């Protein structure tokens, strides 16, 4: 990996980056992305992210990295055909709906009863993933910094792009902002900042109780968005066991965190939605779910099986 492309990285961070690259190559053996290109993308993403977080360190950036997603986005930018096939087949959520179906669903909502505009919006979005909307502008995938899951980020960018266009057109009436955000930004009634802090504290306590095997399972399924079949293959277990173990983790999550919030006085009716939405940010920041930690756990698991 080219050292000069990673300005500001220490020797330890370089080792972490190399581990991330090889972990991603293990995840995507069909994508022969050069290490030097991945390093350049990391550097560009770090610089973009640092502009918004000037006090953060390179280590802070790497610790919350969605490495598998960044690798796929980089492979698409490198114009590897197989990468685009993977992106087209990506799942939008745990209901297993395809990314393109999620985009079409939002297009139908934003352009009701206008199938032509719906399809045009989706096709236009795909076209701008690699080519900027204007000459010299950064393509959509070039703006991805790896700090959020790729597929939900793409859906949000698509939605915001169309809404912005609608608001700039005087003869169009955009959906209200609160309606647009309702799908993935839940706000409890009369929410106060202290509830978010209470949640984060309860979630960290719950994560601290999880075993390494549970953390690895959670990381592969939620952080890296592997399918249950892929998780089962990596862990050497039956796919049905993955389902049962994930269900058990989910139950413990809601029981443990729900109980903690109720003891603090939560009386809202939408605790499930609040936990589901807030958990995403906590998982991004959880040190045990950092890319290097998950790679080490996966390596230890693979070694134990041999």
Which ranges in 169-227 belong to alpha helices (H)? 177-180, 193-209, 212-218
In a domain, 217, yes or no: yes
Residue 172 has what pLDDT?
A: 43
Q: Given 180, 206, 221, which residue is the final one in a domain?
A: 180
**Same-domain pairing of 214 and 234:** yes
What interhelical angle do 35-52 and 11-27 show, nearest 10? 120
Number of domains in the chain: 3
- Structural domain that includes position 135: 90-180
Q: Given 29, 51, 85, which residue is the final one in a domain?
A: 85
Q: Would you give per-residue pLDDT tens digits along the chain (306 residues)?
A: 444 345 556 677 777 788 888 888 888 889 999 998 998 888 888 888 888 788 888 888 887 788 888 999 999 999 999 998 888 877 665 444 577 777 887 777 777 777 888 888 888 888 788 876 667 678 888 888 888 888 888 888 888 788 777 766 644 444 433 333 333 333 333 345 567 778 888 888 899 999 999 999 988 887 777 888 888 888 888 888 888 898 888 888 888 888 888 887 776 556 776 777 777 777 777 888 887 888 888 888 887 776
43, 5 Cβ separation under 8 angstroms:
yes
71, 33 Cβ separation under 8 angstroms:
yes
Which ranges in the chain belong to alpha helices (H)? 11-27, 35-52, 58-63, 67-77, 81-88, 99-110, 115-127, 150-168, 177-180, 193-209, 212-218, 228-235, 239-263, 271-285, 291-305
In a domain, 107, yes or no: yes
241 C-beta neighbours (distance < 10 Å), count: 14
In a domain, 186, yes or no: no
**Same-domain pairing of 66 and 169:** no
**Same-domain pairing of 260 and 202:** yes
Which bin fits 112, alpha (ψ -120 to 50), beta or left (φ > 0)?
beta
156 Cβ partners below 8 Å, 6+ apart?
184
Residue 183 has what pLDDT?
A: 35
User: What gap in Å lies between CA 173 and CA 155, rounded to an integer?
Assistant: 21
């Amino acid at each position: 990996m080219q050292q000069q492309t990673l300005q500001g990285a220490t020797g330890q961070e370089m080792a972490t980056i190399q581990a991330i690259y090889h972990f991603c190559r293990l995840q995507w053996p069909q994508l022969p992305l050069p290490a030097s290109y991945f390093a350049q993308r990391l550097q560009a993403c770090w610089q973009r992210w640092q502009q918004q977080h000037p006090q953060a360190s390179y280590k802070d950036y790497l610790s919350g990295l969605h490495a598998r997603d960044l690798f796929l986005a980089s492979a698409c930018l490198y114009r590897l055909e197989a990468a685009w096939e993977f992106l087209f087949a990506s799942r939008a959520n745990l209901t297993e709906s395809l990314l393109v179906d999620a985009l079409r669903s939002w297009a139908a909502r934003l352009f009701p009863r206008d199938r032509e505009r719906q399809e045009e919006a989706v096709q236009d979005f795909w076209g701008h993933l690699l080519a900027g909307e204007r000459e010299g502008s950064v393509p959509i995938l070039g703006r991805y910094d790896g700090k959020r899951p790729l597929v939900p980020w793409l859906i949000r960018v698509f939605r915001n792009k169309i809404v912005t266009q609608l608001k700039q057109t005087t003869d169009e009436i955009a959906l209200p902002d609160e309606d647009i955000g309702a799908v993935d930004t839940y706000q409890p009634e009369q929410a106060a900042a202290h509830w978010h802090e209470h949640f984060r504290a309860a979630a960290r306590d719950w994560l601290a109780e999880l075993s390494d095997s549970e953390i690895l399972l959670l990381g592969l399924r939620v952080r890296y968005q592997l399918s249950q079949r892929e998780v089962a293959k990596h862990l050497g277990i039956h796919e049905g066991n993955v389902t049962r173990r994930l269900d058990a983790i989910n139950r413990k999550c809601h029981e443990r965190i729900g109980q903690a919030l109720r003891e603090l006085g939560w009386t809202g009716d939408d605790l499930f939605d609040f936990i589901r939405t807030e958990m995403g940010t906590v998982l991004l920041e959880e040190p045990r779910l950092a890319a290097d930690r998950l790679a080490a756990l996966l390596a230890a698991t693979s070694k134990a099986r041999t």
